Amino acid sequence: MRCTLSTGIIYSFTALLTTAGLASAQNVSNTPVVSHAASSAVSPRLSDLPPARSAEGVQQLKVVPPPKPVPPRQSGPGGAARGDSALQHQEGPPIDVQSKTSFGGIGANGFIPPDPNIAVGKTVSGVGYIVQMVNSQLAVYNKSGALISGPVSLDSLWSALGGGCATNNAGDPIVQYDVQADRWLVSQLGSAGSAPYSECIAISQTRNPTGAYYLYSYNFGSNLNDYPKFGVWATETNSAYLATYNLFPNAGNTLLGAELCAYDRAAMLSGATSPIALCFTLANDANYLPSDVDGPTPPADGTPGYFLNFDSLSSLRLYELSPDFATGTATLTQAGTDIAVAPFTEACNGGVCIPQPNSQQLDSLGDRLMYRLAYRVFSGDHNAMVVNHSVAAGSSVGVRWYELRQPSTGGAFALYQQGTYAPDSAYRWMGSAAMDGAGNIAIGYSKSSSSVYPSIAFAGRTPA
C-alpha cells in the first residue's frame, strides 16, 4: 500500500474563519475550464542530477506553509453527531504479518513538515523500484532497500523547464506509479507564497524512474492551488491523470472552491508539448480526493473518474468526471444521491488537539478525507473504493474508514462497510487506506498521545 503520513516534527496551526459553512449542494456547469501546459521540456536523467544537500543544523530549517483551513462542514439530516455507531471498542486478534523490506529513507532535509510520499512499482525481470519524495527531495530505491539514485533536490528535476518549478521547492509533493503504463508521475507546487501559482508535473519516459522525464507546468494565475492530490485513471480511451486542489485567491484564507481536474494522460505519456487539462470549480467547497486505480485491471472503458468528499457530518458526496480530450469537452455530474454514513464529529473539530509527550499539540487535518481514494476492480463481481478520515472517538481520535461498492455491471456506489478504529485512548489520525486483490483492507496511520511520541502504526481487516 502507499501511504502519505507526516512524521517527525509536525507544524500545527490555528486560524479564524469568517466564511460560512461549506455548501451542501452544488450547481455544476458542464463547461470545463480548458487549459494547456504553460511550458514543457525534457529533464536530464535523474541519475545525472547533482545530489541534494542534507540539513546540517537547526538554522537551516524551513517551515513549509500548512494546508489552508476550510470552513466547517454542516451537520447532516440527523443533526450533529452525539456518538459513533461505527466505533470499534477493542482490537481484533493479532495477525502474523511478516515485514518484507525495511530500510532508511530520505534523511533530514531541513523542511517542516517533511510530507513523505512513496510509490512502489511492479517487478519485471527481477527489477522493481520504490520512489520516495519529501518536501524538497526525491530518491529511488530497489525493492531490497538499496539506494539507486538521489536524493536529489526536487527543483533540479524541473531545471530544464525554468520558472517557479525550477526555483521553488514549494512543497505538497506527490509520486504515483502508473501500473498500466509502467511509468511514474512526480509533482509539486510551483509556488506557495506569491503569484503566479502553478503545478509542476513530471512523467518518466520509461519504467526506470532514474531516467529522463517529460516536464510540464500548469498555471493557476492568482489562485493558490493548495493541497494537490493526484490519481491514475487508466481507461482504454480518454484516460486521465485526475487531480484535485483547493483554490485560495492570492493565497489568502478565503476559499474560492474545489478544483477537479483531468489531465490528458495519453498525451503526457507520449511527451506532447502542450497536453490539455479540463477542470471544474465547485464554489465554496473543498478537500475532494480523486479516484486512483490499484491492481492489474483498469476501469472499464468509458468509466468516469470519481471524486469524493464528506459532504456533511453524516454523508459522502461523489462526483463523476467524463473527459473528452479530443474535443476539449467534459461533463461533471453528481453520482446519485449522497451516501449516508454513521454520523461523526471531525477530529479536533477539524483543527489542532493531538497530544504528544512534550505537551504541544498537533494538527489533526480532521476536516478532510485522507489520501488516497483507492479504487480496485474485482473482475466479474464488483468495483470497490476505500478511504478514511479522522474523527472524534470518545476522549481521543480514531480512524473512520469506508468501503464503497458498485456492481461490475455499473450503477451507483453504495456504502458496503465502515468502522472507526479507536480501540484505546491513543490518538490515531492521518491514515491512508488500501485494499488488495483478496479484499483485505490495510490502513497505515499516525499515532500519538501524552505518553506516546508521534509514530506510525497500521491495522488490517480481512474480508470477513
DSSP state for residue 16 in the 8-state scheme: -
User: CA–CA separation, 142 vs 15, rounded Å?
Assistant: 42
Model confidence pLDDT, tens digit, residues 344-355: 999 999 999 999
Residue reference for cell 525495511: 102
- Report the range of poorest mean pLDDT among 25-34, 41-50, 168-177, 228-237: 25-34
Which one, of 249, 238, 302, 304, lies nearest residue 276 by Cα?
Answer: 238
How many other CB atoms are found less than 10 A from the CB of residue 34? 13
- Looking at the predicted structure, is the pLDDT value of residue 372 above 70? yes
> Is 60 exceeded by the pLDDT of residue 126?
yes
Question: Average pLDDT of 83-99?
Answer: 83
Summarised one tens digit per residue, pLDDT across range 147-176 is: 999 999 999 999 999 999 999 889 899 999
Task: Give the separation between CA 446 and CA 67, rounded to whole angstroms.
Answer: 17
Residues 6+ apart with CB under 8 A from 427: 354, 355, 396, 397, 447, 448, 449
Q: pLDDT band for 77, please (50, 70, 90 cuts).
A: very low
pTM: 0.92
- Cβ-contact 88, 420 below 8 angstroms: yes
Give 228: exposed, middle or buried? Use CB within 10 Å, 0-12, 13-18, 19+. buried
Cell numbers at residue 71, please? Answer: 470552513
Does residue 51 or residue 63 have the better pLDDT? 51
Residue 3, pLDDT > 50, answer no
Give how far Cα 428 sits from Cα of 239, 249, 276, 424, 456, Å: 36, 33, 40, 10, 9
Q: Residue 446, CB half-sphere, CA atoms under 13 Å: how many?
A: 26
Residue closest to 268 by CA, chosen among 387, 135, 176: 176
CA dihedral 391, 315, 331, 250 (to 10 degrees): -40
- Cβ pair 383, 377 in contact under 8 A: yes
Residue 429 contacts residue 454 (beta carbons within 8 Å): no
DSSP character for 239? -
Closest-CA residue to 432 (of 458, 414, 455, 462)? 458
Tell me the domains of the chain and their CATH numbers. Answer: 35-56+67-461 (2.120.10)
Residue 90 has pLDDT above 90, yes or no: no
451 class by beta-carbon count within 10 Å (0-12 exposed, 13-18 middle, 19+ buried): exposed
C-alpha cell at 103: 530500510
Mean pLDDT of 26-36: 81
When the pLDDT of each residue in the chain is averaged and rounded to a whole number, the result is 89
Task: Say if residues 290 and 277 touch (Cβ distance below 8 Å).
Answer: no
